[in-house]
Structure formats: structure tokens, C-alpha cells
Amino acid sequence: MKVLADTNLFIKFCRRLPLPKEVERVLADEKTDRCLSPISVVEIFRLWKNGNLPANPDTWLDLALPSWTVLPVTVPIARLSVLWPWEHKDPADRILAATAEFEGIALWHTDTVLKKLTGFPQRYFANAA
């Protein structure tokens, strides 16, 4: 199975924080091709800089990335991310959705805004307690 994880799922998986059971099971499976967009790295450092992520990503990100496939943000992905007729303006979410569409893999996410949008393969999961 191939999965594109959003930033939230990636952080929780890497930091061993609670995840929905199916997400934990699939991401932990060695047969799963865990994918990540480089836009998630931007979001991780932004979260940390703004005080919303306690651990400096420089202390754990390089250790986590080798077990993930980082997918490129190509020109077609960038183009689609801007041209979708959505009211949702978050460029990171748009790039994640466009990556899922062009790669033909589901974006697994916890975003309540994204779950209402169409045009890309997705699986929404409520945040685990």
C-alpha cells in the first residue's frame, strides 16, 4: 500500500503520539510505502518556529525521513494546486491534495476543511485522543 500522509499524521507517527488505529497499523507496516510532501517539512519548521511543536525538527527529522518517500513538488502539481476552484486558500493543503491527485495515491489526513473538497483521492481520519 502507498499512502501520502499529511503533516499532522507524519508528526504524530514519528513522535509516537496517538493515532487512529488504522493509521498506526498501516504506517507501521513495513510493506507500506509511506510518502511525504516537502511542503510538510515547511509546515513542520513553521509549527516549531511558532511554538506549536515542542521538539526542534533538527533533532528528529533527519532520523525519520529515510523511512519515507519524499515526493517532488512538480510544475503540474504546483499548477493544479493553484487552479482548483476551491475557497480553501491554504497553499500547503492545496499542494498535498495536488500531489495525491498526480501521484494517484490517497492523501491520509485529519483536516476537516480538506475532507469537504473533491478532485483528489483522500481518506479523512478524526484526530486520536
Residue 82 lies in a domain: yes
pTM: 0.94
pLDDT for position 89: 87
Summary mean pLDDT of the chain? 95
Burial of 52 (0-12, 13-18, 19+ CB in 10 A): exposed
Residue 129 lies in a domain: no
Q: What's the average pLDDT block by block, 10 residues per block, for the chain (129 residues)?
A: 97 94 96 97 96 93 95 97 91 96 97 94 87
pLDDT for position 128: 67
Residue 30 lies in a domain: yes
Q: Which residues contact 39 (CB under 8 A, 6 or more apart)?
A: 7, 73, 91, 92, 95, 96
Specify the number of domains making up the chain.
1
Residue 117 lies in a domain: yes
Query: For 88-119, what is each residue's pLDDT tens digit?
Result: 889 999 999 999 999 999 999 999 999 999 99
Residue 62 lies in a domain: yes
* Residue ranges making up the domain that contains 19: 2-124
- Which amino acid makes up residue 1? M
pLDDT for position 129: 56
Q: Dihedral of CA 29/10/86/77: which sign?
A: negative
pLDDT for position 63: 93
Q: The CATH number of the domain where 74 resides is what?
A: 3.40.50.1010
Structural contact between residues 117 and 86, judged by C-beta atoms closer than 8 angstroms: yes
pLDDT for position 2: 97
